[in-house]
Amino acid sequence: MSRHWHDLHAPDSRASLYLRAASKRKISGDKLPDEGLRCVMRVQPDNLAAYRRLCHFTDDGRLPATYPHVMAFPLQLQLLTAHSFPFPLLGLVHLQNRIEVLRPLGGIDALRFAVYADNLQPHAKGATFDLITEAEDGLGLLWRECSRTLVRGLRLEGQASEQTDSAPDALAEASRWYADSDIGRRYAKVCGDYNPIHLSAASARLFGFPKAIAHGMWSKAMALAALRGHLPHSGYSFEVAFRKPVRLPSEVVLSASEAGPEGELRLDGQGELLHMVGRWGGL
């Protein structure tokens, strides 16, 4: 597919994008648009410091590997709420997230992001697509993200699949933390993701959840911060699959392989709930 790129000076305001998201409730098509968005986004030092505190990253002079996701979020939001995008943002389910760190993320003031959607496929519960985000500096590509997302209720021709990553066993506990009842609101304040399912029990119930649930990317960031000694500075991937949501408040336990070029992880909750599985490895 030849992609049509739109270069932006800046994304639209988040308020206008959320209004646009709230106004669309139905699927309007079964094909992904061929457009992509590109924009230079600058690092905001105060926001970066707040993100490090929120997700327990130390300040080592490098961006946390999940922070470009935060920088690019307004651009992702604009793509997913565009008139040409056929699926309503509210109700999309984040299934998997893979981040690749190609070069060290140090000494960065700004990044040029490119965002597009690709790979629409049938799924047992609807269909999935990949939201691709790439970040470049003056030397070229240095970071890439693929977020696999479920569109419930969409029917496509072809064999539906529901691939489930196996859960690793016999891993040693690496960390544990308490996800308090307001972590969704605190993450939203720093990262701009105000999905109602994360903000309060009342707003989560509107979308079928008995309680508010933690952002999946907060859980991934917390795991990445806890495993920082396991990973190199660059040349690696860190990917997770989200299973059962973390209902707020609750305690979770992170287990992981020993430090090394490859490894696995899992995030467990109370009552034998498996919240997240993942792995890391070299590129």
- Single-letter code of the amino acid located at 94: H
- Considering the domain architecture, whether residues 14 and 133 belong to the same structural domain is answered as yes
- Considering the domain architecture, whether residues 181 and 270 belong to the same structural domain is answered as yes
pLDDT confidence band for 102 (50 / 70 / 90): very high
Contacts of 113 (CB under 8 A, 6+ apart): 38, 39, 40, 41, 68, 71, 72, 75, 133, 134, 135, 136
**CATH number of residue 120's parent domain:** 3.10.129.10
pTM of the model: 0.95
pLDDT higher than 90, residue 2: no
Across the chain, what does the average pLDDT equal? 94
pLDDT higher than 90, residue 84: yes
> How confident is the model at residue 162, as a pLDDT?
61
- Considering the domain architecture, whether residues 142 and 204 belong to the same structural domain is answered as no
Boundary-marking domain end, from 163, 179, 197: 163
> How confident is the model at residue 143, as a pLDDT?
98
- Considering the domain architecture, whether residues 125 and 183 belong to the same structural domain is answered as no
- Considering the domain architecture, whether residues 8 and 117 belong to the same structural domain is answered as yes
Contacts of 45 (CB under 8 A, 6+ apart): none
Tokens of 100: 């690749």
- Domain extent for 258: 165-283
> How confident is the model at residue 164, as a pLDDT?
66
Q: Do residues 143 and 105 make contact, with C-beta atoms less than 8 angstroms apart?
A: yes
- Considering the domain architecture, whether residues 120 and 34 belong to the same structural domain is answered as yes
- Considering the domain architecture, whether residues 116 and 5 belong to the same structural domain is answered as yes
- Considering the domain architecture, whether residues 37 and 117 belong to the same structural domain is answered as yes
pLDDT confidence band for 40 (50 / 70 / 90): very high
* 116-164 pLDDT, tens digit each: 999 999 999 999 999 999 999 999 999 999 999 999 989 998 877 666 6
CA distance 47 to 208: 32
pLDDT confidence band for 168 (50 / 70 / 90): confident
- Considering the domain architecture, whether residues 178 and 265 belong to the same structural domain is answered as yes
Boundary-marking domain end, from 130, 146, 163: 163
> How confident is the model at residue 154, as a pLDDT?
93
> How confident is the model at residue 58, as a pLDDT?
96
Count of domains forming the chain: 2
> How confident is the model at residue 1, as a pLDDT?
63
pLDDT higher than 80, residue 196: yes
Boundary-marking domain end, from 111, 132, 163: 163
- Considering the domain architecture, whether residues 177 and 232 belong to the same structural domain is answered as yes
CA distance 276 to 47: 26
- Considering the domain architecture, whether residues 152 and 206 belong to the same structural domain is answered as no
Residue in 3, 155, 143, 139 with CA at minimum distance from that of residue 79? 3
- Considering the domain architecture, whether residues 88 and 178 belong to the same structural domain is answered as no
Chain-centroid distance, C-alpha 269: 20
